[in-house]
Structure 1
Amino acid sequence: MRQYSILGGHAAPLGATVDGEGVNFAVFSQHARRITLCLFSDDGQTETQRIDLPERDGDVWHGFVPELRPGQLYGLRADGPYAPDQGHRFNYNKLLMDPYAKRVTKHPDWHDALMGYEVGHEAADLSFDTRDSAKYMPRSVVEDVLFAWGKDQPPHRRTSQTVIYEAHVKGLTELHPDVLHKGKFLGLASDAILDHLVNLGITAIELMPAQAFLNDRFLIERGLVNYWGYQTLSFFAPDPRYLAYHQIAEFQHMVARLHSAGIEVIMDVVYNHTGEGNEQGPTLSFRGLDNKSYYRLTDNPRYYINDTGTGNTLNIDHPMVLRMVLDSLRYWVEVMHVDGFRFDLCTTLGRTPTGFDRGASFFDAIRQDPVLTKVKLIAEPWDIGPGGYRVGGFPPPFLEWNDKFRDGIRRFWRGDAGHVPVLADRLTGSALQFDHSGRPATSSVNFVTAHDGFTLMDVVSYTGKHNEANGEDNRDGHNDNASDNMGVAGPTEDVKINAARAQRRRNLLATLLFSQGTPMLLAGDELGNSQQGNNNAYCQDNEIGWIDWNAVDPEFLEFTKRLIAFRRDHPILRQKRFLHSRERLMDGIEDLFWWRPDGVLMRDQDWTAPELKTLCAEMRIASGTPLYAQREEALFLIFNRGEAVSVHLPACMPGRRWRLWIDTGHPDIDGEVIDGSIIIAGRETTLALELEAF
């Protein structure tokens, strides 16, 4: 085996960098005494050489290896104190992944040798394990990240034009009959998937975690896997399970293909914790390189702060950890050309020793970054830490997932009392939460379903969850789903129940797409996809978690396309400014009217009436918004959860008339002219009428 020499190299950039003459390695560790580069044979089976990084600038260890080439397999070892009570867990016997690796070969193979301590020892994690873990570890790979992008142009969609489609790489593609590379990035880039997204009207696909992640040991022992991917191990490397030919260019090709179809790529990223778990977890990368720097520790530094529910919390307050996160984000934008990020448990990223701070270093760093301020940024605005629920509390330019929208809309259509005012709040962009600090109405990412919870079909088919397949005796997952099975749990041959379920699905989706804010659909909902009542399919890499393309509801698919097209064609539904039922400051014209069915404007006492089950809203272009859509003077939306009712329409000016475009009770209706009043069918109907000239 060839033996390489090493020179001093450079402290930046971090990671393994190819320059044509060799490879520069730079690794951060504040508390290590030595960092060793380990080179491996082409098949990864033999450790061919260990080379100590010869130079240290501050806390960055570095060295340059002449004549080393892309494709070289490597790992790291870190020597330092093993003193858990002081926060240090160095163990030179453990091979470590490079935190900046651009590709990794596989997932770790579970074995006790992956632990820095002796499993079963009476001293627990205070003990020290001397076994070499290399046999069970993935190899980091030296990569040349250049890609022939050609004329790739990010779509740069305005947020007001955005319709997000949350999808899992494998779940979306595995069962599609016309996809060749099933379960892979290349499969997602196929004509079949692109055609579906374009025809549906999607403008952005939000990919569930695609950075390399861990298969938890307790899942492997149950015969399951980490399907969703919220256990990141490498913030720069795509997960190897989604690569068909072990090339990061496959991800880049996927992005280019989506861009060519006018679709943006948003990545769901997990920077709040890593897959190494708590003090009883494995030593795979960050823990072995510098546990005390990478993780937030308690007053007893043997233990980890656990604001994420996963055992550990990444220490974003440390400048080098923050640098890694920002370097990672910029890498995915500049090298992989993604268009935005959804931050898992984003409250954690803004938590300081005194609590959540919308001016925390993470937010301030992003807000001044010339690269990251150009892409879409979406916060999941909660975690399980103290004061962790922060919906509406993030600084611009962040958008936020709005679970208040999900819960309020589901409960309204389920028939819960007192939810007409809730519907009104959600319909107009959840202004109480978001109308501050100059934030636009598009700040609210509205959804009725997401990966975490029931699918749309299951919302109307199951009253309770059915997570038995997860192996936790149905204890996991949300218990309050604001769902209703319409009288029978799961699939049924009852024609009336199936009709009622289809009606409610149409109402839920119409409400989503008629609301101010940024809509997000869960992949498969447009097809009628079910997860058999499982509302926590995080470990179901099988037919439960995959979309069934052979059981498509074609009528509902066509109705979904109509709703998205209607939203696209009517800017009143996707305004940047908030609508308010008050006089406009500029011209004295109101932009939002709440009407009673009898044609009288709503009064304060009407909102609290126990019999209130119908909401009628007239929307106009908001005050201050350029009137670029003069032909649209108003939309009239009706949401009826009660019995059949006659609704008197607002009087039209001469030369104007109301035309009915959407009726969830009659999904094929197409532009019927309505004069004076309209009879709304009972129990569940949503209508949209446009005021137009004739």
Structure 2
Amino acid sequence: MQTPDRPVSSAHPRPRSRPLGVSRTPGDSLAANVAVWAPGLEAVDLIWSEPGQPWQRHTLMHLEGGVHFDLIHVSPDRALTSANSDLDPYTFMALPPGTRYGFIPTSSSMLRQPNHTPETGQIFLDPHGLGIERVARADQLPGHDDRPDAYGTRYVSSVVDERFDWGDDVHPDIPWRDTVVYEAHVKGLTIQHPDIPEHLRGTYAGLGHPVMIDYLKSLGITTVELLPIHAHLDEAHLTENGLTNYWGYNTLSYFAPHAAYATAEARARGTQGVLDEVKAMVKALHAAGLEVVLDVVYNHTAEGGPTEQPYCWRGLGDEHWYRHHNGHYLDMTGCGNTLDFANPNVVRMTLDSLRYWVRQVHIDGFRFDLAPTLARDSQHTFSQRHPFLVAATADPSIGASKLIAEPWDVGMGGWQTGNFPPGWADWNDSYRDTVREFWLTDQRAIASGGTGGSLSRLADALAGSNSRFEASGRTPLSAVNFVTAHDGFTLYDLTAYDQKHNEANREGNRDGTNDNHSWNHGEEGPARTASVRAARARTARNIMATLLLSQGVPMITAGDEFLRTQGGNNNAYCQDSPIGWVDWKKTPADRAMLACTQELLRLRRRFLQDQPEDYMRRVHDVRMEWFSPSGNHMHSYEWQAAGFRTVQMVIGARAGTTTALVLVNGSALDVEVTLPSQDAIEEIVSRGEEAEPEDAPTGFELLFSTDAALRPSYGMRLPTGDSTVAPSMSVTVLRLI
């Protein structure tokens, strides 16, 4: 049940075209206002059933700008009972919480069906409905003909009570510079966790359980980015194959949470119980200082192609909700349809949805799937000044949240990394490819007698890909750096498989990309020799170190911190199975990788503590100096030279402290390195706004290396200008002292 954002006169209660959905009416606390944008229909009937009551039907008598709307009143007897009762007034309202409802179109070409109910045919869902229920499975319907669930199940919208005891909950509001994103699936993260009570595993409550929260805090991440939790459907081809849309990128409602991720106890309470469990999860994570970001899919809906089952938008106004060209669907998503963000009403629904999740569910941010689709104009062209991007950024609630774009779709001109406006961050796929090439495909080339690539692209990645983001007026804080995500190989699988192994998806291993930039280190799949296992673990540490030591915002995929595998499946979208779940059983190698990740995150926090609060907000405030193994500043030819793969990176801030030296050796041989001289360090420090040369550090302390042989030497001190050895295929961190 929605509350109007804009105060209106209550002197004469009347139907209103805003807000959309079901809302309370000023001046009549018991009446419900119902409004739906259905521009393709001449008339719309509301059909509803209050808890324990039969289905009723009412024609929405008012029409304005394609919005059909009306008031639903309670009977005089019910109003009188309410006035003399001490019970919750919500009990007596028209369309109280628990009411199931939907819409039936009526037009000159469609006969009115007096006895139409959700059991006899799909009624159209409310695009602004806050709850969604499944009222019959396909095999429970009259005339069932063995169609899969995706074709025949009936769904209805439902009214929920938005009230919830948030206590003193506040948004953690973690600055971008301190943010470490952890991408996870609500079910997959906890379904196999042995220390979470069994009845909570795989649920919202499981994610909010103290065991899970303690783990996330001990790891050192700040922000949990959840794969879609909007209510979603399984595609027909998956149900025919006995599979499901595990990832959830097939939205049926942009306001209702997915019920299957709730506990049995919550589901027994209906949509209200599901929503309350989501809110309790958010509240628990916030209490621990953790943010919650949702992966959202506003680019297409679960209605699929033009011949598939209409559930909502297609039935209410197909040509208005979806993007068309010459009378046919224009598919820029690869999913059969594309919502038309050139239509202001599509933009409005999306903004209303985002505001709802921020204001009512206290969500901290959003990752927008196939985000260019949301910024295409009437000519289908991406625009950085698209009304949706402008409105979302300017909105007090949405704009204060973290806004993260997946900056590509499958339409013309769909790759837009670096082109979103200020206020947005982009998934940095250029970073992903560069780091994979340096540590994996280049390594394969070197192992085969080649030289590998140059350092220039890796250096740009370490510097936060500034060259890609500065044109849009942004800094490395707009780069969400990642090497893996839900889509593709896990970190371990990058080191263990040259080829994808998606046979379990039952698509003949045709699905999933072949462009993986992976290297199996000489053996495909589980390693048979200790040397291959050690080499893979070292490469994984190098990749994780590169990710967590780069400028920008790092994102870790759940389980990568302890070498989770999917058995070479690089498209586990349909694997609601151990393939797609996080396995919490750890080998000694897994535990070593976890310790390595935790150590790197501690180093990252320690470094940032020495920098000013606005570190990385302005490019010129970030100090990065590059030295060759000789101890001299890098020359231009060295950046481009094939086979020249060792560099020293001194990092700090102009108004902060120059605190770290990162030594990268991507070659197959140990390299003798001369550390930067005292003169070089003093020259760097003297360019700071507050420091003087005499304050310059005079040496280095070894803090970390991906070469396990150096671990006993942690704490070793070296003077400036001294010589040391950079082990082959390693990343080493020293602190300036």
- Could you state the TM-score of these two structures normalised by the residue count of structure 2? 0.83
User: Shift in Å at residue 420 of structure 1?
Assistant: 1.5
The aligned runs of 1:293-372 (5 Å cut-off) are 293-300=320-327, 303-354=328-379, 355-372=381-398
What is the match of residue 84 of structure 2? none
Distance 2:315 2:215 in 1: 45
Partner Cα separation in structure 1 for residue 250 and residue 54 of structure 2 = 27
What number of residue pairs does the alignment pair up? 645
Q: Do the aligned residues in 2 keep the contact of 1:30 with 1:59 (CA within 8 Å)?
A: yes
- The structure 2 residue matched to 1:10, chosen from 16, 23, 27, is 16
2:731 to 682, 686, 689: 686
2:178 aligned with 1:161, yes or no?
Answer: yes
CA distance, structure 2, for counterparts of residue 655 and residue 358 of structure 1:
44
The question of 1:661 aligning with 2:707 is answered: no
The 3-state SS of whatever aligns with 1:267 is strand
- Matched residue, 2:32: 23
Distance in 1, Cα, partners of 2:255 & 2:404: 19
The amino acid that maps onto 1:414 is L
Matches for 1:471-620 after TM superposition, within 5 Å:
471-551=506-586, 553-571=590-608, 575-577=615-617, 591-620=623-652
- Structure 2: how far apart are the matches of 1:350 and 1:593? 38
Describe the shift of the 1:275–1:108 C-alpha distance in structure 2 as closer, same or farther (beyond 3 A): farther
Give the drift of 1:440: 2.0
Which 10-residue stretch deviates more, 549-558 or 402-411?
Answer: 549-558
Matched, 1:176 2:176: no
CA distance in structure 1 between the partners assigned to 2:646 and 2:367 by the alignment: 35
* Counterparts in 2 of 1:450 and 1:620: CA distance versus 1, 3 Å: same
1:78 maps to 2:105: yes
Stretch deviating more after TM superposition (385-394 or 92-101): 92-101
Tell me what 1:33 maps to: 42
Cα displacement (A) at 1:396: 0.9
Evaluate the alpha carbon distance shift between residue 284 and residue 63 of structure 1 in structure 2; reply closer, same or farther with a 3 A threshold: same
1:220–1:206 CA distance, 2 compared to 1 (3 A): same
- 1:288 pairs with 2:315: yes
**For the residues of structure 2 that align with 1:591 and 1:150, how far apart are their CA atoms?**
43
CA contact (8 A) 1:428 1:579 kept: no
Shift of 1:107: 8.8
Maintained 8 Å contact 2:646/2:663: no
| Corresponding position of 2:415 | 389
Which residue does 2:55 correspond to in 1?
Answer: 48
Which amino acid in the other structure matches residue 35 of structure 1? V
| 1:428–1:578 contact (8 Å) kept in structure 2 | no
Moved more, 662-671 or 478-487: 662-671
Structure 1 residue corresponding to 2:160, chosen from 143, 151, 172: 143
CA distance, structure 2, for counterparts of residue 107 and residue 539 of structure 1: 24
- Give the letter aligned to residue 263 of structure 1: L
Unaligned residue ranges in structure 2 (runs of 5+): 1-12, 75-92, 111-117, 268-272, 443-451, 683-695
Structure that is richer in helix per residue: 2
2:125 touches 2:156 (CA, 8 Å); kept in 1? yes
1:640 offset after TM fit, Å? Answer: 3.0
Residue 199 of structure 1 aligns with which residue?
218
1:279 aligns to 2:319 (yes or no): no
Residue of structure 2 in register with 1:587 after alignment: none
CA distance 1:334–1:143, shift in 2 (3 Å): same
- Shift in Å, 1:636: 3.6
Distance in 1 (alpha carbons) for counterparts of 2:617 and 2:667: 28
Give, as a single letter, the amino acid of the residue that structure 1 aligns with 2:479. Answer: S
Quickly say closer, same or farther: Cα 1:364–1:492, change in 2 above 3 A.
same
Q: 1-side partners of 2:43 and 2:140: how far apart?
A: 24
The sequence identity of aligned pairs, in percent, is: 40
Unaligned runs of at least 5 residues, structure 1 = 1-6, 84-90, 121-132, 585-589
| One-letter amino acid matched to 1:495 | A
Query: 8 Å contact 1:294–1:321 — kept in the other structure?
Result: yes
Q: Does the CA contact (< 8 Å) of 1:8 and 1:54 recur in 2?
A: no
Q: Offset of 1:278 from its aligned partner?
A: 1.3
Distance 2:201 2:426 in 1: 31
Structure 2 CA distance for partners of 1:525 and 1:453, relative to 1, 3 Å: same
**CA-based RMSD:** 2.6
Partner of 2:715: 671
**Structure 1 residue 415: deviation in Å?**
5.0
Q: Please say which of residues 289-298 and 673-682 is displaced more in the overlay.
A: 673-682
Give the conservation status (yes or no) of the 8 Å contact 1:435–1:578.
no
Contact residue 8 and residue 62 of structure 1 kept, 8 A: no
CA 1:599/1:655 → structure 2, altered by over 3 Å: closer, same or farther? closer
- Is the 2:631–2:677 contact (alpha carbons within 8 Å) kept by the matching residues of 1? no
CA contact (8 A) 1:441 1:575 kept: no
1:333 deviation in Å? 0.3
Which residue of the partner structure matches residue 257 of structure 1?
284
1:407 aligns to 2:433 (yes or no): yes
Partner AA of 1:430 in structure 2 = S
Contact kept? 1:657, 1:673, Cα under 8 Å:
yes
Matched, 1:463 2:498: yes
1:226-283 CA-partner distances (Å, limit 9, x unpaired): 0001111100000111122132111111111010111001000011111111112111
Distance 2:183 2:151 in 1: 36
Q: 1:461 to 1:81 in 2, by over 3 A?
A: farther
| Conserved 8 A contact 2:648-2:661 | no
| Distance in 2 (alpha carbons) for counterparts of 1:108 and 1:567 | 52
